[in-house]
Every structure is written in structure tokens, then in C-alpha cells.
Amino acid sequence: MTDKKTNNENPADKQQSAANNTNKQGQASAKAQAPKPAAEKKPAPEQKPAAEKQEQAAQPAAAPASQPSEKQGGSKTGAIAIALVIALGAGLYYHGHQQTLSQNSQMTALKQEISQLQSQLQSSLKTSQQETLSQVNNSLQRTETSIEQQEKSITGLQMALAEMKGRRPNDWLLAEADYLVKMAGRKLWLEHDTVSATILLESADHRIAELNDPSLTPIRQAMHTDITALKAVARVDRDGLVLRLTSLQEEIGKLPLANAILPEAEAVETTEVSASVDDWKQNLKTSLKNFSDHFITYRQRDGSVIPLLTPKQDFYLQENIKSKLETAIKSVYREQGELYTTSLAMAKDWAEQFYDMEDPAVQSFIETLEALGQENIEADYPSKLQSQALITDTISERLRQQVKPLSTEENPA
């Protein structure tokens, strides 16, 4: 029964049993490989009874000869099983080694990606931190600036409020007087208008007089001193001078030019016929000479002759005289007395030289130039106004020194 069971086993089952029990290869191979080598193949199902009868008939005679073959088959099967196990183990090792290498490469790539992400994250964090710090600093600066402006505005409001508290009812008159004095100084030094400066000082004196304050008497005294000094300044009618010079410019084109200027002729002695008969020869010569003078006159002149001016020269002459009058007009406003006098003198000389002195218009033109040349266009103005400094100091003492912040009033400590 045992032999039949072993003959019916499949070779794959034998190999599986050999692989599972590698430590007992000799014993399992002897028991499992007892059938003949020819019986290793599985017979067909319809031939199984005949084969079993042959095996039962031949078993007693062939039993001794089958033992060496069983040993050889078992050793081959074990070797094959060992080789398969080794190949399987090598394949598994190779497969595991390849998986390990791929996993290591994947781990390396993951580590690189992680390091890149970490560096990017750090750089982004640094950039965001810097941007945040810059924004915070900018906001702090704007906040500090706004706080300073608010503090200044608060201080200004406090000063204005304290000033309003310390003012007197008529202080606006003193401030108005200060403004009028300053305007008088501007009129005096910028425009040299002594009349307007005097009127402004008198108006300022009226404002201070309305205050009826004895402590302001020195200011009024200084104002009267300034008014007296301004009235003593020589007043120059600049507008009148300019108008007269402008009218002369318009009259130049109407002046007649002089004819050719000849030197004076020598004096000619006149001879008369005498009543004596003895002088008949001389009387004849005299009569002939007088008769010839009616036709030809001969006069002897010594000196240079100035010819008539051409129309082009006449135009240049008029423009030159107008230019000198224009220079005189500018000198009036600039108070340049020497330049003013020199310009009018040159215009007068040219008019006397090239225009007809017998014409009344030319004579009036030259007389007007002489009169204008004697005008004084310069004046000695005061260098400063005494009342200006006094009224400024008074306002500073009365108004500015009374200004105190509100915090000092609330918290004296």
C-alpha cells in the first residue's frame, strides 16, 4: 500500500516537499523515490489497472535492484531543489537589491526636493520678513511724522488760545499801527516815495493816539521824529520830469535843420564918390566897382564849411537825441544825477550844432533842455525809522511773552 501511494505522487509535490524539508533530504528522498524511474510518469486513467498488476507481479523479483536507483534519483532531486532554492533566493535578493536601489534613489530625490523647498521657504520667509519690516518702519515713520505735526498744531492752538486770553481789547490798534509803520518803510526804501511814507506814519500815530496809553508815548515821539525827517527830504517831481522829457522826444522830428554853415566873411570897406574934380580917376574906379557889384559879389571867408545833412544822417541825429533823452528818463527813476546831467548836455550840444538856431521851436527845445539839466533828482533818505523797532519790541513784550502752553497752566509742576 505504501508503494502504491508513492507511485501515485506527482513530481511537483515531491519537489515542494523537498523544498520545505531541506534538513531531511536523505530520508525523504529514499521514501519518496522508491518507484522505478520508468514509473515517474503518471499513467493514463484507463491503463492504471494493468500497470498495477504488472507491478504486483514484478515487485518481489525487482525489489533488490531498485534501491540504488532510488538513492541516485533522490540525490538529483535534492540537488535540483537546492539549486532552485538558491536561484529563488538569488532572484529575491536581486529583486530586493534593485528595489532598495530604486528606493534609495527616490529617497535621494525626495531629500533634494525637500532641501530645495526648505531653501525656497527660507528665502521667501526672509523676503517676507524684510518687506514686513520695511512696511512697519515706513508706517512708524509716517506715524511719527503725523504725531509731530499734531503736536505742532496742538502747540500752535495752545499758543493762539493763550494769546487770545492775554490780549487786551485795543491790541488790534497797536498791531495795525505796526503794519502801517512797516508799509511806510517799504514805500521809503523800495519806491523812495516820501509822501506815501509820511501819510502812513501819520495814520499809525493816529491809531496809537486812540489807545490813550501813556506807556506808548516813546513810540509816538519816535514817529514824530521820523515824520519830520521825511518832510525834510527834498521832494523830486519824477513824474513831471519824465513827462517833460517825453514831450521833448516827440518834438525832435519837427525841428528844422540848419543850412550849410559857412565861416564869417571878411569885412568889406565901402567907398564913395568924392565931390572933388581932382579925384575923377578914383571916382571912376569906384563907380565901375559899384556897378559891377550888382552882377558879381566876391567875398573872402577863412575857415571850414559844414555841409548840409543827408536824410539818412538826419534820421540818425534824431535817434541819437531820443536815446539820450531816454537815458535821462531812466536816470530820473534810478536817481543817477551825473548820468542825467551828462545825457541832457549831449542832447543840447547836438541840437545847437545841427538845428536852425533862428527857429523859435529850436530855441524853446534848447531852453527846456537847459532848465531840465539844472533839476536835482537825487535825495538823501533816512537809513531807518526809529519808530519801527520800538513798536515791534512793544508788541513782542505785550503779546509774545504772554503766550504759554496750556499744559503748564494745568500742571504747574
Residue range 366-411, pLDDT digits in tens: 999 999 988 888 888 888 888 988 988 888 877 655 544 444 444 4
| Percent of the chain predicted with pLDDT > 90 | 18
> Could you give the angle at which helices 337-354 and 311-334 cross, rounded to 10 degrees?
160
Query: What pLDDT is attached to residue 376?
Result: 85
- String of DSSP letters for 225-253: HHHHHHHHSPP--HHHHHHHHHHHHHHGG
Taking alpha carbons only, the member of 249, 287, 293 closest to residue 268 is: 293
Question: C-alpha cell of 392?
Answer: 515791534
Give the residues across from 355 on adjacent strands: 257
How much is the average pLDDT of 127-136? Answer: 86
Q: Locate the domains of the chain by residue range.
A: 2-98, 171-235+381-410, 238-264+277-373
pLDDT digits (tens, 9 = 90+) for 49-88: 444 444 444 444 444 444 555 556 678 888 888 888 898 8
Flag whether the pTM goes above 0.85.
no
> Could you give the angle at which helices 337-354 and 360-373 cross, rounded to 10 degrees?
160
Residue type, 39: A
